[in-house]
Each structure stands twice: as structure tokens, then as C-alpha cells.
Amino acid sequence: MSRQIVLDTETTGLSAEGGDRIIELGCVELLNRKLTGNNLHLYFNPGRDSHEDALKVHGISNEFLKDKPKFAEVADEILQYLQGAEIIIHNAAFDVGFLNKELELIRRPAFRTFVESVTDTLAMAKEMYPGKRNSLDALCDRLGVDNSGRTLHGALLDAELLADVYINLTRGQDPLLISDDVQDSTGAMKVAAIDLRSLTLPVLLASEQEQAAHAEVMAQIDKASGGKTIWRAAQTA
């Protein structure tokens, strides 16, 4: 069974190496490309104030975060939730960089050692729509995803929007004629059987006008070839 986690973070600023920290984590689970509702949403006390510009983006006040747990206190819960999944992130380098820093500060291995893989939807979008704006809002507009509730950035809301965007970006990869949630003993999906013997295909005959037009075209082709067409040779044989 394919398990994917769509992940987003909000941070105190733009530089993990410069001391900025994660303040919010939002994760949305997909099983076989379907939302399960088994989401993870956490706020953290970063131990520092957010930069003014970052505060304008996410609107999460320093006061609100004061009684929230430190990342270290819930790291095991987060890693257990993410364990072995394919992680889907928009601009993955940013979020993974911050997660790596949080894990480094508590002396844990790098983020990618806990997950199956990381898929960057920004890189996917740039390949599919070169030269176009590929922000999350731009992709929502392009793919018909309703983002009208997104007045501020929020990790869980953005993860939910990104899940919808990802499904739309990869819709062409959906297998055809597959029964929902049907698997055999090996875990492989079963293809729905269709008995074509029960279908009756109608035979549409050409009208006299269509037959005459066809004969005229064939005569013109035969004339242009100097009478060397195969069907003319077969008729005179």
C-alpha cells in the first residue's frame, strides 16, 4: 500500500543556519492517493521571536507560541508518523533544511534517513510548466484548486491544498480500469475484467454517395500512378 505524506512548515524566518526555527508543522496522509484524515498538526515554541516579515506571512504571534511544546519534546511522535513514507513538499529544500536543523540540534540523524523518499512539487511544476509562476497559489489557480480560504500561510491548510495540487499534477499517472481498493494476496491491484463477447458492434455501411466519392479518389490515385496501383492489378488478374 502506497503511503504518502504531504508536508508543510512555517518558520520564524528564512535561515535555519542563521538560527530560525520551525513554529508549525502540517502533514496530510494519502493512502493509494486518497485522503485518509489521519493528519498531523503541531505548533512549537521556537525559543525566539519570529522576524517581522515572517509574521506578516503566517500571522502566528510569539505570544501564541509561548505555551507550545519544543520540537524536541514531540520529535519522536513526528518521526514515527513520517516513518517510511514518501514525503511530498513544495520547495522541499527549504522545509527539509529546517527539519534537518531541528534534528541536528537534538542529535538525531538527517530527515531523509527516516522516510522512503522526498518528492518536490515545485521541481515537478517547473518541468511541467517551464517559464510560468509555480507558487502554490499559482498552481491552485491553474489546476482549479479552491484556495479562497488562504488569506495567511498556515502549515496544515497549505498541506491540504498541496495534496489537491499533487493529485491534479499526477492525475495522468492514474491506472485505468482498476477496481477501488481491490488487491490480491501479493498486494498488487487487480484489474477489473471486461467480457467483450457481450458487446454488439454496429456495422455502418457507406452510402452510394460515399462509395462514388471513394471510387473517384481511387481512380485519381490510379491515374497518377500510371495504372500501377495494387488494387487495379488485383482486379485485372
For the annotated catalytic residues, the residue numbers are: 153
- Nearest residue to 33 via CA among 65, 1, 81: 1
Domains of the chain: 3-191 (3.30.420.10), 206-236 (no CATH)
**CA atoms of 163 and 166, how far apart (whole Å):** 5
pLDDT per residue rounded down to tens, the chain (237 residues)? 689 999 999 999 999 999 999 999 999 999 999 999 999 999 999 999 999 999 998 999 999 999 999 999 999 999 999 999 999 999 999 999 999 999 999 999 999 999 999 999 999 999 999 999 999 999 999 999 998 877 667 899 999 999 999 999 998 654 433 334 445 555 555 555 556 666 666 777 888 888 888 888 888 887 777 777 776 666 665
List, in sequence order, every beta strand (DSSP E) within the chain. Answer: 3-11, 22-31, 34-35, 40-43, 86-89, 117-120, 178-183, 189-191
The pLDDT of residue 201: 66
Tell whether the torsion through CA atoms of 139, 140, 142 and 143 is positive or negative.
positive
- Radius of gyration of the chain, Cα coordinates, nearest whole angstrom: 29
The pLDDT of residue 177: 37
Query: Contact, 105 vs 22, CB < 8 A?
Result: no
Which residues touch 214 (CB under 8 Å, ≥6 apart)? 206
Please count the other Cβ atoms lying within 10 Å of the Cβ belonging to residue 180: 8
The pLDDT of residue 185: 54
Indicate the SS3 state at residue 95. helix
- Nearest residue to 4 via CA among 44, 34, 24, 43: 34
